[in-house]
Amino acid sequence: MTATPPIARKIPTERMHHGDTFIDEYEWLRAKESAEVVDHLKAENAYTEAITSGQEQLRQDIFNEIKNRTQETDLSVPARKKGWWYYTRTEEGRQYSIHCRTAATDTGNVTRDWTPPEVVPGQPVEGEQIMLDGNVEAEGKPFFSLGGLAVTEDGTLLAYAQDNAGDERFTLRIKDLRTGNLLADEIPNVFYGLEFSPDGTQVFYTVVDDSWRPYQVKSHTLGTPAEADTVIYEEDDVAMWTGFDISADRTQLIIGIGCSEYSEYRVLDLTTPRAELLTLIPREEKVLYEADPLTIDGRRHYLLTHNRDAKNSMVSLVSEDQFQRPLAEQEWTTIIKHDDAVRVHGVAVTQSHVMVSVRKDTTLRVQILPLAGLGGGGQPEPIEPSFDEELYTCNLSNAEFESPIIRLSYSSFFTPPRVYDYMLVSGELALRKETEVRGGYRSEDYVATREWATAQDGTLIPLSVLRRRELIQDGSNPAVIYAYGSYEISMDPGFSISRLSLLDRGIIFVVAHIRGGGEMGRTWYEAGKKLTKKNTFTDFIDSTSHLVSSGWADPQRVAAMGGSAGGLLMGAVTNLAPEKYRAVVAQVPFVDALTTILDPELPLSALEWEEWGNPITDAEVYQYMKDYTPYENVRAAAYPRIAAVTSFNDTRVLYVEPAKWVAKLRDTTTGPEPIVLKTEMDGGHGGASGRYEQWKDVAWDYAFAADSLGATAVLSRSTSSAG
By annotation, the residues acting in catalysis are 564, 650, 685
Helix (H, G, I), strand (E, B) or coil at 88: strand
Is 199:166 a contact under the CB 8 Å cutoff?
no
SS3 1: coil
| Alpha carbon distance 616, 622 (integer Å) | 7
End-to-end CA distance of the chain: 42
Q: Please, what is the Cα angle at 306 between 300 and 308, to 5 degrees? A: 115
Beta strands in 297-383 (DSSP E): 299-306, 314-319, 333-336, 342-349, 353-360, 363-370
Distance CA 276, CA 409 (A): 37
Residue 261's Cβ-count burial label (10 Å; 0-12, 13-18, 19+) is: middle
Q: Which residues contact 575 (CB under 8 A, 6 or more apart)?
A: 630, 633, 634, 635, 637
Distance CA(26)–CA(659), nearest Å, equals 9
Q: How many angstroms separate the CA atoms of 163 and 349, rounded?
A: 32
Angstrom distances, CA of residue 589 to CA of 189, 297, 660: 26, 52, 11
What lies within 8 Å, CB to CB, of 168 at 6+ separation is: 145, 147, 191, 192, 212, 651, 652, 684, 685
Angle among Cα 73, 78, 83 to the nearest 5 degrees reads 140
Are 315 and 347 contacting, i.e. CB atoms less than 8 angstroms apart?
Answer: yes
Q: How do the residues of the chain divide into helix, strand and coil, expressed in percent and rounded to 5?
A: 25, 35, 45
Which backbone phi and psi does 223 adopt, to 5 degrees? 90, 0
Chain mean position to CA 659: 24
3-state SS, residue 129: strand
Strand ranges for 107-152 from DSSP E? 129-133, 145-151
* Largest CA-CA distance found in the chain, in angstroms, rounded: 77
